[in-house]
Amino acid sequence: MPSETPQPGFVLVRPQMGENIGAAARAMWNFGLDRMRVVAPRDGWPSERAVAMASGAGRLLDEAVLCDDIAAAVADCHYVYATTARPRELVKPVFSPERAMQDAAERIAAGERVAVLFGPERAGLENADIAQANAIISVPVNPKFASLNLGQCVLLTAYEWMRTAGEVTHFENDPKGDWASGREIEALAAHYEERLDDARFFYPPEKAEGMKVNLRNLWSRLPLTRTDVQMLHGVLRQLVRGKDR
C-alpha cells in the first residue's frame, strides 16, 4: 500500500520505455514519494524492463495505477501541474520546480489533492495534455538542448518536493473552499463542449480542435469550487431550455 504521507501524485503520460518508468520510480522513492500513475505506456503494462531498472523501488511499480488517459489519472485531484521545458502559447500560471512544489505543499496542507504530469520522452506533453492542467512547471534548461530525460525530470521535481515538504505548517481546509476535483471539471468541460458543438460554435471545422483545447485550458485555469461547477452546469442547462422554448 502507498504510504499515508501527504504528497503529490506523479503521472507519467504515455511513457515510451520501461527503463524510464523504472528510473522514475527509483527517483520518486529516493525522495519519499510513492504515488505513481501511468497513462497509456507505449510498451504495455506491467513492464519487466521497468522492474529491472527500479532497483529496489519495485513496490512503486506494483502499486502504480494504470490509466487510459489524463482525465482518469487526475479525476480525484483538485490541482494539476504540467512539466515542460518548451515555451507554450497556452495562458497558465508558470512555476519553477522549486516554487511549484512549495505551492503543492501549501495546497496539500490545506487538504487538496494535487498531481504532476510528466510527458513522453521523445517530445514531452502536447498542448492538449497541458490544457488539462491548472499550471505549468517550467524546467530551466539549456535552450540549445532542452530535451530532459523522464527520470531526470521526475528526480528534479521529487528533490524540490523533499526540500519543501518539511517547511509547511499543516492546517485545516476552509470549509467554504470545497474545490472541484478533476473529475468534476472534466464533466463540466464535456457538458459545455457538447452544447457548443450542437450550437455549431466550433467553426470553421479546421479550427475546431484548437478551439476545444483553448476552452479546456480555460476551465483548468479557473479555481472552481464544487458550487461554482454546479452553478455553471445550471447556467448552461437554463440557456439551452430558453433557446428551445
Q: Are residues 120 and 223 in the same domain?
A: no
| 144-148, 169-173, 215-219: range with highest mean pLDDT | 215-219
Q: Is residue 192 part of a domain?
A: yes
pLDDT band for position 240 (cuts 50, 70, 90): confident
pLDDT value for 105: 94
pLDDT more than 70, % of the chain: 92
Q: Is residue 142 part of a domain?
A: yes
Tens of pLDDT, residue by residue over 108-151, are 999 999 999 999 988 889 999 999 999 999 988 887 887 778 99
| Single pTM value for the model | 0.81
Q: Is residue 79 part of a domain?
A: yes
Q: Is residue 174 part of a domain?
A: no
- Beta carbons of 26 and 56 less than 8 angstroms apart: yes
- Closest alpha carbon to 17 in 9, 8, 25, 7: 25
Domain extent for 197: 182-244
Tens of pLDDT, residue by residue over 148-167, are 789 999 999 999 999 998 65
Q: Is residue 103 part of a domain?
A: yes
Q: Is residue 176 part of a domain?
A: no
For the chain, the straight-line distance linking the first and the last C-alpha, in angstroms and rounded, comes to 54
Q: Give the rounded distance of the alpha carbon of 21 from its chain centre.
A: 17
Q: What's the CATH code of the domain at 157?
A: 3.40.1280.10
Cis amide leading into 6 (omega within 30): no
User: What mean pLDDT value characterizes the chain?
Assistant: 89
- Count: domains in the chain: 2
How far is residue 126's CA from residue 238's CA, in Å, rounded to a whole number? 35
Average pLDDT score over residue span 26-51: 94
The order of strands in the sheet holding 9-13 is 65-67, 36-39, 9-13, 114-118, 79-84, 135-138, 94-95
pLDDT value for 245: 62
